[in-house]
A and B are shown apart, each in its own frame.
Chain A
Amino acid sequence: GAVVSQHPSRVICKSGTSVKIECRSLDFQATTMFWYRQFPKKSLMLMATSNEGSKATYEQGVEKDKFLINHASLTLSTLTVTSAHPEDSSFYICSAQEGTTSTDTQYFGPGTRLTVL
């Protein structure tokens, strides 16, 4: 099946710094990528949807200036958590699909554990 990677798998940073997380589709071109956040023992919450070359669409309640998403190529999307605070500590997961329709399969990355001290 299709493979999606994330880097780094784990990051610890100081409060007030910015952190960038990369999501790559390794063997297919991802027209659409999604970013999710998962709290401990909780479900995945969609943060935003990005289409290659376009601005990301953010879900209600997600601060677009805090969680910057860039999808500049068909194989790479980045999520930058700006001025991170301890409450931003979470597990961030991306997914990618080849097309833009609801029938396309989403392939998930392994996730990035962010800890803000």
Chain B
Amino acid sequence: GNSVTQMEGPVTLSEEAFLTINCTYTATGYPSLFWYVQYPGEGLQLLLKATKADDKGSNKGFEATYRKETTSFHLEKGSVQVSDSAVYFCALRENQGGKLIFGQGTELSVKP
């Protein structure tokens, strides 16, 4: 079945460091890919998405490119801030049925 695997956390970085959170997927067909963020005590928020191969999703300085050849959708940010501390979830959405399948989440902690 379809699945999403993302790097284990927690990830601890200093402010202004470069961030990469790896995400790979297994899917039949052509799913849409997403990154969601969950701040402490809050619900999941859509951070960015890409719906086809080579699409780049971007928002708030975060970027991820849909790489079909490597089945990856790695999240990157050039300079993280303390306010980026949260749990990040990679997810795919099946075209048939629209079911969202999540990775296990990666906790990011940014220190001043």
Using a Cβ–Cβ cut-off of 8 Å, how many residues does chain B contribute to the interface with A? 24
How many A residues face the partner with a CB closer than 8 A?
25
B43 adjacent to A4 (CB under 8 Å): yes
With beta carbons under 8 angstroms apart, the residue of A34, A45, A101, A111 that contacts B43 is A111
- Also in contact, A43 and B89, with CB within 8 A (given A102-B98, A106-B100): yes
Chain A, range 74-117, C-beta contacts under 8 Å to B: 93, 95, 100-111
Cβ contact within 8 Å between A110 and B42 = yes
A82–B97 CA distance with the chains assembled, in angstroms = 28
Does the CB pair A43–B43 fall under 8 Å? Answer: no
Q: Among B42, B46, B94, which residue has its beta carbon within 8 angstroms of that of A102?
A: B94
Contact B89 A102, beta carbon cutoff 8 Å: no
A109 to B38, CA, bound (A): 11
Q: Does A49 contact B (CB under 8 A)?
A: yes
**A19 near B: Cβ within 8 Å?**
no
Question: Could you give 16 example pairs across A and B, Cβ below 8 Å?
Answer: A6-B43, A32-B98, A34-B100, A44-B44, A46-B101, A95-B44, A95-B100, A101-B98, A102-B32, A102-B97, A102-B98, A103-B51, A108-B43, A108-B44, A108-B45, A110-B41
Q: Write the residues of chain A forming the contact surface with B, with a CB cutoff of 8 angstroms.
A: 4, 6, 32, 34, 41-46, 49, 93, 95, 100-111
